[in-house]
Amino acid sequence: MNTSALRCSLIALAIVATPSIAQDVTGNATVTVKNSFTFTEDAPLNFGEISATAGATATTDIATLTISSDGTVNAADNSAATAAQIRVLTAGSAGTYSISGVAPYSSLTLDLTTLNSNSVELTAVSGAPGAATFTVDNFEATVTVGNNVGDSADNSTPIVADASGSAGFALGAVLTTDAAGTSPTYYDEEYTGTFTLTVDY
């Protein structure tokens, strides 16, 4: 009888536990604050070219010229005047202002309450002694660029920026003749004045 012998070898696999390998990294966190934005006057509030006469009676003898921000009113009113008068020779236009660099759809508040707390005086550029002056008040605004175009803008109704973070508005007001009552003279020249507009973001 032939016998075949099979020699089997047993190989033992030894598993040795080794410690895990770890690395550290330093993490960083950053934030950039940008509270500032761009607010510019694109075109000034312009009452056009007019013929004007100041009144002889203090306070009550006045004429007015209204430029509305939405473009619906651009006319003189002499109904309260005796001697005072405004005649429009060349129509004026609302002021236009633009805002950029804010977060998309941000709400912006135009502070007209402070602006309207005092009238703005327009004086003769030449500084001629005794020249009559004008006052400007009753400022109002209409949104022209943003997510709520056509809305009025004031302390209670915000301007809402568009998807690009831009907004804009038109500014209207009322021009009134000199109310001193001394019949001062309006000279043939430009009358100017300045005011500050504030937008809160």
Kindly report, residue by residue over 54-73, the tens digit of the pLDDT. Answer: 998 888 899 999 999 999 98
1 pLDDT above the threshold of 50: no
Q: Which two tokens stand for residue 19?
A: 């410690």
Which tokens sit at 129? 């002694």
pLDDT of residue 182: 84
Q: What is the average pLDDT across 88-106? A: 97
170 neighbors 149 (Cβ within 8 angstroms): no
Q: pTM for this structure?
A: 0.84
Kindly tell me if the per-residue pLDDT of 11 is higher than 70: no
User: Does residue 63 contact residue 86 with C-beta atoms inside 8 Å?
Assistant: yes
- pLDDT the model gives residue 16: 60
- Residue of 109 and 17 predicted with greater confidence: 109
Q: Return all residues near 164 (Cβ < 8 A) that are at least 6 apart.
A: 100, 104
Please tell me whether residue 112 adopts helix, strand or coil conformation: helix
The predicted pLDDT at position 57 comes to 85
List the one residue out of 80, 181, 74, 83 whose CA is nearest residue 133: 181
Here the tokens at position 92 are 């004026």
* β-bridge partners, 99: 39, 167
- What is the rounded end-to-end Cα distance, in angstroms, of the chain? 106
State the Cα–Cα distance between residues 35 and 102, nearest whole angstrom: 8
